[in-house]
A and B are shown apart, each in its own frame.
Chain A
Amino acid sequence: MAKKAAKKATKKAAGFQVDKVVVKRTAALDERDTKTLGLIKHTAERVRNTILKHSLPELKFPVRSLANVEYDVKKGYFELGKGRKARALSVNTVRTFAQTLRLMAVSKEMVENDDFATKREAYYVSKNWGDAKFNDQPESDTVLDDIEALASLEGLSREHLRYRPEEHGGALAGELVVIDRDRTTGQEIRIDCARMGTGAYTIPSSVEHLRFETKARFILAIETGGMFERLNQHNFWRSANCILISMGGVPSRAQRRFIRRLCEEKKLPVYCFVDCDPYGIGNIYRTLKVGSGNAAHINRLFCVPEARFLGVTPQDIIDFKLEDATHKLLEVDIKRAKDALKNDPFFQAHKPWQQAIEQLLKMGVRAEQQALAKWGLNFVLEEYLPRKLADPDSFLP
């Protein structure tokens, strides 16, 4: 038997020897990490002290719902109201109570080891918790959102807690140097986004440590990857001296945070180029500018109040004679548009937007960015964008 096994072993192809990866922190804790650890410890201590005082512990979270969202035009983003919910230990809350504390413990460990977990991973981590495990990901997402809301009161985000969303989009091209660091050595790395060849730079999922150098004049945030490719292919960023970013639908938090920091630190205007439909206006643009309603706790850090709406506007459909390149508004589109007019504090605060949406509803059609191809594939960069960019003041707020 032993002989046979030995023979077999000799026949096997030689494998690759991989050194054991040691997960540990290389750089020292930064200020935000310390703050995150402090928040987690403080929360746990309060729970423990309450127990030792023979009382039922409770956790207090901001209420995450549109009812507890305030919009201040001056501040420019959705903000959590004063609504707080206390999660006292009871039949209904005990499970989430335990899960919240356990996820905070995971978060603490990740900060200490300079590690991270995607939301999906966080869900699977819980599978080792026996009774306390999450049954599906929406369950763990909800608990994460609560912890996040709690952290946001301290000016901390999910990224500080080391939880990350699944990424999409985030391609970038233009006159920008991103200063990053080596993960192991901590050494500075300079990335010139103008020298990415025929590819593009990708916005990392955590952007807090990045620094920027740029001489670009503005940022153009584009809805679709296809349109980004077209503008990148013809080096539009060079001729317009701008930074192109592909959002790939509703921008992820990393993208929003990245654009926000770039906009704030380098004083760059942000122009948004999306489809002319209620989704492009009400979801993509609105989220980029003021944040989203159901994650209002993080909008303070993840919004770009300076963003303006370049197009495609309902008026553009007329101005660029795109009527025969449109589609009829679907029922969901109409519903979404009416909902925006009726319930969304952002659109309610801006008259021009109400008029634009009403115009769209009246026309009863929607136009995609690609509709401009009606006049030629490169009409968009030869005609449309130059004409629009000539008068940024005409952009919708």
Chain B
Amino acid sequence: MTSPGLFDSAAPEGTAPSTTRRTRSAKKQSTPASDAASTPAASGGATKESPRRGANAEQLAERQREISVAEFFTKNRHLLGFDSPLKALLTAIKEAVDNSLDACEEAGVLPEISVEITPTENESRFRIAVEDNGPGIIKDQVGKIFGKLLYGSKFHKLSQTRGQQGIGIAAAGMYGQLTTGKPMRILSRPGKGARAREFVLSIDTAKNRPEIHREQEIQWDHGSGTRVELELEAKYQKGLRSVDMYLKQTAIANPHLTLHYTDPGAEKVSYARVSNELPPETIEIKPHPHGVELGMLINMLKNTEAKSLVAFLQEEFSRVGPKVAKDIIAAAGKGLSDKSYPTRIAREEASALHEAIQKTRIMAPSTDCIAPIGEALVLAGLKKEIEADFYAAITRPPAVYRGNPFQVEVGIAYGKPGGVGLELTEEGRIKKTKAQIATEDLVAGADEPVRVLRFANRVPLLHQQSACSITKAITQTNWRSYGLQHPRGALPIGPMALLVHIASVWVPFTSESKEAIASYEEIVKEVRLGLQECGRKLGTYIRKGKKLQSEFSKRSFIEKYIPHIGIALQDILDLDDAERDGTVATLEDVLHRSRKL
């Protein structure tokens, strides 16, 4: 569930140190799930006590790598989202929930997840527990998954999953351990027939390996699934960047999820699923040639099993057939031919090859590796959790940045419940709608900047909003033409929640803490197009509302004076009160019918 990749996650495609790269290529040959453990485990196991002096370069390198995992974490926790007690709580829960969701989906189970935060005697410490109905974890894997950094299944494949960088739950456990000294407690039942087991474990930070304190079979009144408990130094607060908000947004982006949440005050909230269908299964894809950098290409050439260049291109990349492969080779020149032996291609030739790849027209990567939420479910998710007057959703067609397919979805929830508070009846009258209870919700106030709900592969992004390409795209869109106020270079103003979801096999985050999406031109453009499409629908709605509002004030102005016409007619024509009221009522009716809207 968690995975390696701490160091190379910023540039996973190719600029990483070659050690990791080797790991990667080695793993390519193994089947993902069960064998995934073997390589890191092996390297982990290689940490023999070697003499400090007289160590050869290789031994030294091994040791340095082991130490740096722990040191890197303790010194750089901010990169991983543990920089403040407030954020640490959120990150820990987020990692656990993300993992649970990925596990359930991979197993084909409709997820039902419980999150509990309980206060401890120490005010600055909380105990969190996340429980799912997923496939559970077999006995041998529990230790590695929870007790070892850089261990998992998702990093080395190009497919759309929530977790992708492999910081994971182990990091949360390590944080808890560092701040409270307490181990994690794991309960897991791998399948209904299996026995549940309890594990109490901590991480040997120096060696990056699990230290299991207790392991036993227990009675657990629960189907298959996993429960993680850990205590950590944290701070609980409500608000836009709170755990509460993260869970609520998670429920929006995952309409198939049922979520139970118990906050530190023992308040319980449940988010029921609105869809009984799991997101479609996504397939793993090979890298697209246009997304490959030179270093990565050289590595791939070195490690391939293909015996000819033409075969290499076709086997290792997606969207490369015989013709495209030949075109690339021809364009590269430098004496390269179809039959050139890949492992013998030199740097200069590889460079020419890389340039040739960029120049050659290649079909965009297949996009069935992406599973968007879908317009209908984005709408359902918004309607479920946000009370508003107007909803719109759009799913853009898939697009590609640097060879990585991605897809953008935009959703809008506009207006406080009740909207302008007016509706047009069949008789042509404008009526005030009943006031509804306004909930403390995600829709901003009428004079506040809109609330932005950012999602990457269905995971809410709560921090670093201003650094995110989604925010950039929102500020670049001309919201004035859709009837909103829009200060230059800022978010538009209005009672609106704006949902933007980016699904991709590889979401380019700006940092390992996965808080903001890097501003690739293609991504910003797609988000903008999605916003515009939704914005047009919103504009129509807002204009209609404004029209209704102005028509209403016009009519009520007219209605104010109609009784006076009645009085005057009564005085002049000596009408009785019934005749007067009849005339007034008729006139009102005539007025409402005659005014077009």
Contact = CB atoms under 8 A, between A and B. Distances in A.
Interface of A: 40-41, 44-45, 47-48, 51-52, 54-57, 89-91, 94-95, 97-99, 101-102, 104-105, 108-109, 129-132
B571 A55 contact: no
B569 A101 contact: yes
Given A45-B573, A48-B573, A95 B561 contact: yes
A98 B573 contact: no
Contacts of B557: 91, 94
A52 B580 CA distance: 11
Interface string B548-572: 0000001001101110110111011
B79 interface: no
B587 interface: yes
Interface stretch (B122-130, B173-181, B517-525, B588-596): B588-596
B561 A47 contact: no
Given A54-B590, A98-B565, A101-B564, 13 more contacts: A40-B572, A51-B587, A52-B586, A55-B590, A91-B554, A94-B558, A97-B561, A98-B564, A101-B568, A104-B568, A105-B568, A129-B564, A131-B564
B485 interface: no
Given A94-B557, A97-B565, A129-B564, A54 B586 contact: yes
List 4 A-B pairs, minimum CB-CB distance, nearest first.
A101-B568, A105-B571, A98-B564, A44-B572
Contacts of B572: 40-41, 44, 101, 104-105, 108
Given A56-B590, A98-B568, A51 B558 contact: no
Contacts of B571: 102, 105, 108-109
B558 A102 contact: no
18 contacts: A44-B569, A51-B587, A54-B589, A54-B590, A55-B594, A57-B587, A90-B558, A94-B557, A97-B565, A98-B568, A99-B564, A101-B564, A105-B571, A109-B571, A129-B564, A130-B564, A131-B560, A132-B564
A303 to B, nearest CB: 31
B337 interface: no
Contacts of B560: 131
Contacts of A56: 590-591, 594
Nearest to A109: B571
A193 to B, nearest CB: 40
Contacts of A40: 572
Contacts of B567: 102, 105
Nearest to A91: B554
B564 A102 contact: yes
B207 to A, nearest CB: 81
Question: Most A CB atoms within 10 A — which of B557, B568, B587, B589?
Answer: B568
A39 to B, nearest CB: 11
A263 B561 CA distance: 46
Question: Most B CB atoms within 10 A — which of A47, A48, A130?
Answer: A48
Contacts of A90: 558
Contacts of A98: 561-562, 564-565, 568
A370 B565 CA distance: 54
Decide if the interface of chain A is mainly helix, strand, loop or mixed: helix
A117 B565 CA distance: 21
Contacts of A102: 564, 567-568, 571
Contacts of B586: 51-52, 54
A358 to B, nearest CB: 51
B39 to A, nearest CB: 78
Question: Most A CB atoms within 10 A — which of B557, B571, B591?
Answer: B571
A40 B591 CA distance: 24
Nearest to A130: B564
Contacts of B299: none
Contact of A48 (B561, B562, B583): B583
B573 A44 contact: yes
A89 B558 contact: yes
Contacts of A41: 572-573
Contacts of A44: 568-569, 572-573
Contacts of A132: 561, 564
B363 to A, nearest CB: 61
A101 B583 CA distance: 14
Question: Most A CB atoms within 10 A — which of B560, B564, B583, B591?
Answer: B564
Interface string B230-259: 000000000000000000000000000000
Contacts of B565: 47, 97-98, 101
A47 B564 CA distance: 13
Question: Most B CB atoms within 10 A — which of A45, A90, A102?
Answer: A102
Question: Most A CB atoms within 10 A — which of B561, B569, B587, B593?
Answer: B561
B583 A94 contact: no
A21 B37 CA distance: 112
A129 B568 CA distance: 11
A49 B277 CA distance: 64
Nearest to B580: A48
Nearest to B587: A51
Nearest to A96: B561
A28 B212 CA distance: 118
Contacts of A105: 567-568, 571-572
B573 A94 contact: no
Nearest to A90: B558
A129 B586 CA distance: 22
Contacts of A99: 564
Nearest to A108: B572
Contacts of A57: 587
B15 to A, nearest CB: 68
Contacts of B568: 44, 98, 101-102, 104-105
Contacts of B561: 94-95, 97-98, 131-132
A132 B569 CA distance: 15
Interface in B191-213: none
A45 B583 CA distance: 12
B558 A91 contact: yes
A45 B573 CA distance: 7
A55 B571 CA distance: 22
Nearest to A95: B561
B34 to A, nearest CB: 76
